[in-house]
Chain A
Amino acid sequence: MIDVRVQSADFDPGGQLARLGELKKTAVAGFVGRLEAGEDVTKILVDHHAGLARPELQRIAREAGERWPLAGIILIHRHGRIEPCGRVLLVGVAASDVDQAGAACAWLVAQVRARAPFWRKDLLADGTGRWR
């Protein structure tokens, strides 16, 4: 089961990991990425290439499924205007093997960070913005 979503809405990490729990495997590993920001940041704009983002996340998930015997993979990446310290990325996997679940989750996070076409702009209280 591979479930990949690109959305502006927030997500419920517990609810998503519970979905993976329904697969009744030994291990469910999860990662939540948040947009840490300084005091001067009022909002964070996450820009994305709509035509490339979802296919790339699907490719990453498929590659993980080829590397490890995973029963389930969930990838959710948000875009749009997000509150400072808001959730932006969820990676979750279910597997029979504990070590493989952890390794797959870490690999997925690294791949999404390096390959998924999303960009961050911090919007500041003075009306200016800063790309990161």
Chain B
Amino acid sequence: MAALEILYYGRLRDEIGRDRELVDLPSHVLTVDDLVAWLRTRGEPHATALADSGGLRAAVAGEWAERGDSLFGAVEVALFPPVGVL
């Protein structure tokens, strides 16, 4: 298990009810996609908030990440909906 801080932005802040959380990552969670899938299995509110996984974006350690990118060595991951205010 590895400790990982997850930051939420946009609507996810309200839907998950917090702007960050610290999780112990099981060993089978290797990529951003794995993380989203695993969070959904933890029940509500994550299951509903992260249901539209196609629209989710991510950043790992302050850099844009693709959904298949590895979380190896990461201590922080940001999850958020599509960006833009205009």
Contact = CB atoms under 8 A, between A and B. Distances in A.
Contacts of B86: 33, 88-89, 109, 113
B45 to A, nearest CB: 15
Contacts of A46: 85
Nearest to A50: B62
Interface size range of chain B in the complex: 10 to 19
Interface residues of A, number: 25
Nearest to B57: A117
Interface in A66-103: 88-89
Interface in B1-49: 7, 9-11, 13-14
Interface string B51-78: 0000000010011100000000000001
A116 interface: yes
Contacts of B14: 121, 129, 131
Interface of A: 33, 35, 46-49, 51-52, 55-56, 88-89, 109, 113-121, 129, 131-132
